[in-house]
């Protein structure tokens, strides 16, 4: 049985990219050079971006998938390399992380294809994009980007995609019209998110996982990919848009083939009820990102101090199913300029990261853009404070913890190993917390707290995070 993050105790994942990274210098080279430094800092696993050729060549982040088998090896889309480098550089990057004992997770994008090699005439019906059970009764012939033959690639697979392998597209080239077009004889999967009544279609040419040929090819590719990369797990993209039964089958097949657990986390943007339903319906075959917790951080940082901090962990995945919760502060989808922009205010980043790094529940994920900064938006790195919290995590985050999540402004917790965490999104204050009778004084570098009978009156500065350890 898949155990989720239960086997990742004290582990920390890093998302190894952000959206606006330049295509040069190559990311694979940058990460390879920094592998040892990340290991030393306390990173135990890295999530790499989609490594296959995208429709926009060197400018494609990998989510506009063209060819899953082209990892920067074939001349297509006017380039051999991907945005991140060549296949050789990719495999070398993975080997370097493995050399330092860091697990590598691959970003798997199986929802759609883009950048077709040719168009096909398809009989289709127009669908109301916001009410997807409303399908026009009028048939129309459209030109759709659905023919993928991969003429530049001559090995690994001879599979050719035709319109029969897709459910729908969002563009009719014959009339130059945008819209959602459902192909004749096709239907949207029912085991998907219920937004717009059915959220099967997301973008590009939507792969049809009711077609056995599509399922078979996805499995064959997954086995090939795992065998050549020796990856340790997956981050599965856009799972709310793909029939849930597919991923359960796909992941189970990968694990049986590999004879190892293969940690897997899925991207599902939804409330706690939708996340719990997905976990249950797929028999807890994967972990999920704790999206509700992210939005709590967002609300706390944008509320001008009016967010009730007692609610921070309520109705989150880390509260309901902590073994299957990957906790995060921000990622490539939430950073400024992206479709799900919900970036945590800079001043609240330390507080948010303390909530995922300095607690045992959940499997924390650090964002590349927080660690190294985002030059595109003039966002400064948080490397120093994150490195410090990683150090504290390794040394103190274990054993008996006492929670003091009991005030609308100031909350905190302690570990009897010798760490006290206190934070606020508003005015500062003090909180009496138990740390253990073996300590006499605690300090955060600015305040010294006397410990009497195991208790101290810990100070929290305004709109701040204060971290106390035993005074040497």
Distance separating alpha carbons of residues 70 and 82, to the nearest angstrom = 9
Distance of CA 429 to CAs 8, 114, 383, 402, 410, Å? 35, 54, 27, 19, 7
- Give the whole-angstrom CA distance, residue 378 versus residue 278: 37
Whether the CA torsion 192, 197, 201, 207 is positive or negative: it is positive
HSE value, Cβ hemisphere, 13 Å, CA-based, for 368:
19
CA 253-257-258 angle, to 5 degrees, is 115
Q: What is the rounded distance in angstroms from the CA atom of residue 392 to the CA atom of residue 383?
A: 14
Rounded to whole angstroms, the Cα distance separating 72 from 57 reads 10
> Which active-site residues does the annotation give?
237, 267
Q: How many angstroms separate the CA atoms of 318 and 211, rounded? A: 36
| Coil, strand or helix at 126 | strand
DSSP codes, 240-306: GGS-HHHHHHHHHHHHHHHTS--EEEE---S-HHHHHHHHHHTTT-SEEE-HHHHHHHHHHHHSTT-
Q: Which residues pair with 311 in a beta bridge?
A: none
Interatomic CA distance for residues 47 and 41, integer angstroms:
16
Q: What tokens does 85 get?
A: 């480098």
SS3 state of residue 468: strand
The rounded distance, in Å, linking the Cα atoms of 94 and 130 is 42
Beta bridge mates, 442: 449, 470
Return the closest-CA partner of residue 64 out of 48, 46, 52: 52
Pick from 55, 109, 120, 110: which is nearest to 82 by CA? 55
């Amino acid at each position: 049985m898949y155990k989720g993050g239960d086997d990742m105790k004290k582990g920390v994942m890093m998302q190894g990219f952000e959206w606006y990274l330049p295509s040069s210098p190559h990311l694979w080279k940058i990460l390879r050079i920094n592998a040892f430094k990340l290991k030393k800092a306390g990173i135990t696993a890295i999530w790499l971006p989609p490594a296959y050729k995208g429709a926009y060549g060197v400018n494609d982040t990998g989510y506009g998938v063209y060819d899953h088998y082209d990892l920067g090896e074939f001349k297509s889309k006017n380039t051999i390399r991907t945005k991140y480098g060549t296949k050789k550089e990719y495999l070398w990057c993975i080997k370097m992380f493995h050399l330092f004992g860091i697990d590598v997770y691959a970003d798997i994008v199986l929802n759609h294809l883009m950048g077709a090699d040719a168009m096909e005439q398809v009989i289709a019906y127009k669908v109301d994009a916001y009410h997807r059970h409303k399908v026009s009764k009028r048939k129309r012939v459209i030109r759709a980007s659905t023919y993928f033959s991969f003429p530049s690639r001559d090995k690994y697979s001879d599979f050719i995609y035709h319109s029969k392998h897709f459910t729908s597209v969002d563009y009719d080239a014959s009339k130059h019209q945008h819209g959602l077009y459902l192909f004749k004889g096709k239907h949207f999967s029912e085991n998907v998110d219920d937004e717009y009544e059915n959220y099967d279609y997301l973008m590009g040419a939507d792969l049809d996982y009711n077609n056995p040929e599509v399922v078979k090819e996805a499995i064959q590719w997954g086995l090939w990919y795992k065998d050549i990369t020796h990856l340790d797990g997956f981050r599965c993209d856009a799972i709310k848009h793909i029939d849930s039964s597919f991923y359960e089958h796909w992941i189970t097949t990968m694990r049986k083939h590999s004879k190892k657990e293969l940690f897997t986390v899925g991207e599902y943007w939804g409330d706690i009820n939708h996340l719990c339903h997905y976990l249950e319906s797929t028999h807890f075959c994967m972990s999920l990102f704790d999206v509700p917790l992210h939005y709590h951080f967002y609300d706390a940082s944008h509320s001008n101090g009016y967010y009730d901090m007692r609610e921070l962990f309520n109705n989150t995945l880390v509260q309901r199913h902590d073994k299957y919760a990957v906790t995060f502060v921000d990622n490539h989808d939430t950073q400024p300029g992206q479709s799900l922009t919900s970036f945590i205010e800079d001043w609240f980043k330390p507080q948010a990261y303390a909530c995922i790094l300095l607690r045992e529940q959940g499997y924390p994920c650090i964002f590349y853009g927080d660690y190294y900064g985002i030059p595109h938006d003039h966002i400064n790195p948080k490397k120093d404070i994150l490195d410090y919290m990683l150090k504290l995590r390794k040394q103190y985050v274990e054993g008996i913890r006492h929670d003091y999540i009991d005030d609308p402004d100031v909350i905190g917790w302690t570990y009897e190993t010798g760490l006290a965490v206190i934070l606020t999104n508003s005015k500062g204050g003090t909180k009496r917390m138990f740390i253990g009778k073996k300590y006499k004084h605690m300090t955060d570098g600015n305040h010294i707290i006397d410990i009497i009978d195991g208790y101290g009156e810990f100070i929290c500065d305004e709109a701040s995070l204060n971290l106390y350890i035993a005074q040497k």
